[in-house]
Structure 1
Amino acid sequence: MNATGPPAEAAESCQELAAGGHSRLIILHYNHSGRLAGRPGPEDGGLGVLRGLFVAVSCLVVLENLLVMLAIVTRMRSRRWVYYCLVNITLSDLLTGAAYLVNVLFSGAHTFRLVPAQWFLREGVLFAALAASTFSLLFTAGERFATMVRPVESGATKKGRVYGFIGLCWLLAGLLGLLPLLGWNCVCAFQRCSSLLPLYSKQYILFCVVIFALILATITALYGAIFRVVRANGQKAPRSPVRRKADRLLKTVLMILVAFVVCWGPLFCLLLADIFGSNVWAQEYLRGMDWILTLAVLNSAVNPLIYSFRSREVCRAVTGFLCCCCLRLGLRGPGDCLARAAEAHSEASTTDSSLRPRDSFRGSRSLSFRLREPLSSISSVRSV
């Protein structure tokens, strides 16, 4: 099969296949992009044992975020805006793992049995889930910044804005993922097609890369502004809890940003090389695409770990939930799981009751000693 370019009759055939929504359109585009090079044919899946590893990674992401979300919903009594941000982030990361699992299961030889609409849906859902995860991080940082600059705000206004931003987050993510299905693609326009995603237009991929890069820059700017405010208040009283909170915040922000850059950086570089490089160069790195995409998905597994270990309230919720599950199964862990569950439940109740007077900024104390810990650590508790 020719991998350098379709002849004129192939272009005419492509239009006919596109009009009928035939699965052979997928083969035609993959052949032109060079994705079939080195395979005996489209029937060769090309994943082998690696597919099991990718399935395991996606299951890890799903189970990890499901655990954290169930723990938050069942064990955290607080229902402030922090609660909804936590649920939104874990839900988007959970769907990222599920979308990646579907993507892996329907890849390989299954790819060439899909009609174009199914192919666009397979890739689009994964793009949408990844976008929802990054939008959730952006929304959380923005809401935390808004809370600091406008501490006195009615509950109804706050709740309405949180709901609105969560809805906007999912709307934009879904729209971004479905744009190729809605028409922004390169069907039968082979010169505009990506080598890594053969039915996606290079302009669309560049648009996505720019969007994600702007999200990262905005998150960095917001957390930088939050840190400067907390740091400035900490310098006024160097031995106060605010100073220790600023140091803790810096470590958490660095963990979030480093995890984002490490997980997403290689994918950004590969997509940019695909956009601006030649097809011959891109084909040399096609084998690494599966690993690079898996690394980006792993960011959805790293996020709940950061939130759980950097927030005492979430950590207690997860510990209490696991202990309750162990007790219902008749299992006991080190140090008597029953005692651990009771202690976690008691501490969570105490924390919740002690939060109520702290959540109000209408007291008479100075602002520098009333700042709650910014959500870069995803915590609504004063942690030191």
Structure 2
Amino acid sequence: MTGRLSGRPRTGVGVLTVLFIFISLFIIVENLMVLLALLRFLRLRRWVHCCLANIAFSDLLAGISYLLNICLSGPTTFLLSPELWYIREGLLFTTLAASTFSLLVTAVERYSTMVVPVTESRSTKLVRVQGLIIFCWLLALAVGSLPLFGWNCLCHIEHCSSLLPLYSRSYIVFSLGLLGLTLLGIIGFYCTIYYFVCTNAKHVAVTSQSRRAFHLLQTVLIILGCFVICWTPLFLYLLVDAACSPPSCQSPLGLEWVLALAVMNSAFNPLIYSLRSSEVRKAILALLCCACTLAGVRPPACCQQVAEITSGSSNESSLKHRSSVRLSRNLSFRSPVTSVSSVPSQ
């Protein structure tokens, strides 16, 4: 009825399937490296490390779920029961939602650090961030499990989606609304940070502090651009699908491409959130050096930074925390130099 059976390959693995498998493996390896580097060398001492580790973990699971989705698609789809089909699609929905919610937590914490600073101990903020991360995963798991527990179209086939058969169009609209509000919240928080930094940077001389501020602006622009490029096609496709009622209206095909583009956001996140941090870059370099040592390959001279990371990050974090607490007591919109200079420490 939806037209999804026309032109489907019966046997064999196509070139596109191999390409999508390569994308998912790249996402898995990339986020696994970031996650291991954060756990091994930075040890999640600061709240920002917890946020980065959570994003890397959710993106890692997104890559694994996407790989499972590819392997269980095609002719294998007809060997699945409806429950297994819902689990296959629900895992991808859950991990993508968790990745998006994790980005929102990071945006909220950066906003509370820069724009509305609150004097609190490092342990208190760390506990709050960990609580928000747990809540994000519970919410994502609930959203991905709704079709499995009854919000589907098995008994009302006229309400089924064309792009995602067995999914109710009302559920797709609900998911789009929830994720859309999350993305708008992320954009809103970062636009506020962008305006805040731009307003205060006008009063800052060209120093290391101002360069750090403009470094943050570049990061914000990359974040917003990545979200728009990766998520807009999928949102548009699903909106068109939700408005169609098969067989009188058939949604456009090619969901595989727009889904792959949305999943690619999980490959860009480590580059944006992790590799732009010198601390995380050193941790990843140290991880690669350790891998070379275990493989019996002589590591380069830069591997001496391993000792600096393991011994110096704790003292550096403590100094930055005490400095940020002292600065936040006097932080206001009338003291732009202080507000901008406190950004990199977070």
- TM-score (normalizing by structure 2): 0.90
User: Could you tell me how far apart the structure 2 residues matched to 1:345 and 1:371 are?
Assistant: 30
Using a 3 Å threshold, how does the CA distance of structure 1 residues 146 and 282 change in structure 2: closer, same or farther? farther
Q: Is the 8 A contact 1:308 1:318 kept in 2?
A: no
Gaps of 5+ in 2: 332-336
Q: Could you tell me which residue of structure 2 aligns to residue 363 of structure 1?
A: 326
Q: What letter matches 2:139 in structure 1?
A: L
Q: Could you tell me which residue of structure 2 aligns to residue 285 of structure 1?
A: 252
Gaps of 5+ in 1: 1-31
Q: Is the 8 A contact 2:158 2:246 kept in 1?
A: no
User: Could you tell me how far apart the structure 2 residues matched to 1:380 and 1:63 are?
Assistant: 28
Using a 3 Å threshold, how does the CA distance of structure 1 residues 309 and 111 change in structure 2: closer, same or farther? same
Using a 3 Å threshold, how does the CA distance of structure 1 residues 226 and 212 change in structure 2: closer, same or farther? same
Q: What letter matches 1:85 in structure 2?
A: C
2:164 aligned counterpart, secondary structure: coil
Determine if the alignment matches structure 1 residue 128 to structure 2 residue 94: yes
Using a 3 Å threshold, how does the CA distance of structure 1 residues 373 and 297 change in structure 2: closer, same or farther? farther
Measured after TM superposition, the shift of residue 371 of structure 1 is: 5.0
Q: 1:165-176 to 2 correspondence within 5 Å? A: 165-176=132-143
Q: Is the 8 A contact 1:39 1:46 kept in 2?
A: no
Q: 1:181-220 to 2 correspondence within 5 Å? A: 181-220=148-187
Q: Is the 8 A contact 1:196 1:282 kept in 2?
A: no
- TM-score (normalizing by structure 1): 0.81
Using a 3 Å threshold, how does the CA distance of structure 1 residues 282 and 164 change in structure 2: closer, same or farther? farther
Within the candidate set 239, 244, 264, 2:206 is matched to 239
Which digits, 9 at most, give the CA deviation of each residue in 1:50-102, with x for residues without a partner? 22221111111111100110011112256011111111000000000001111
Using a 3 Å threshold, how does the CA distance of structure 1 residues 369 and 99 change in structure 2: closer, same or farther? same
Kindly indicate whether structure 1 or structure 2 has the higher relative contact order, using CA contacts under 8 Å at least 6 residues apart: 2
Measured after TM superposition, the shift of residue 264 of structure 1 is: 1.1
Q: Which moved more, 1:350-359 or 1:88-97?
A: 350-359
Q: Could you tell me which residue of structure 1 aligns to residue 32 of structure 2?
A: 66
Q: Is the 8 A contact 1:95 1:129 kept in 2?
A: yes
Which digits, 9 at most, give the CA deviation of each residue in 1:214-254, with x for residues without a partner? 11111111112223333333333222433222211111111
Measured after TM superposition, the shift of residue 343 of structure 1 is: 3.0
Determine if the alignment matches structure 1 residue 346 to structure 2 residue 308: yes
User: Could you tell me how far apart the structure 2 residues matched to 1:248 and 1:136 are?
Assistant: 22
Which digits, 9 at most, give the CA deviation of each residue in 1:108-152, with x for residues without a partner? 111111111111111011100000000000011111212231331
User: Could you tell me how far apart the structure 2 residues matched to 1:351 and 1:373 are?
Assistant: 17
User: Could you tell me how far apart the structure 2 residues matched to 1:351 and 1:281 are?
Assistant: 62
Q: What letter matches 2:112 in structure 1?
A: A
Q: Is the 8 A contact 2:212 2:341 kept in 1?
A: no
User: Could you tell me how far apart the structure 2 residues matched to 1:262 and 1:269 are?
Assistant: 12
Q: Which moved more, 1:193-202 or 1:47-56?
A: 47-56
Residue identity over aligned pairs, in percent, reads 47
Q: Is the 8 A contact 1:230 1:246 kept in 2?
A: yes
Question: How many residue pairs align between the two structures?
Answer: 338
Tell me how large the CA RMSD over aligned residues is. Answer: 2.3
Measured after TM superposition, the shift of residue 357 of structure 1 is: 2.1
Measured after TM superposition, the shift of residue 48 of structure 1 is: 2.6
User: Could you tell me how far apart the structure 1 residues matched to 2:317 and 2:123 are?
Assistant: 19
Q: Is the 8 A contact 1:316 1:348 kept in 2?
A: no
Q: Could you tell me which residue of structure 2 aligns to residue 261 of structure 1?
A: 228
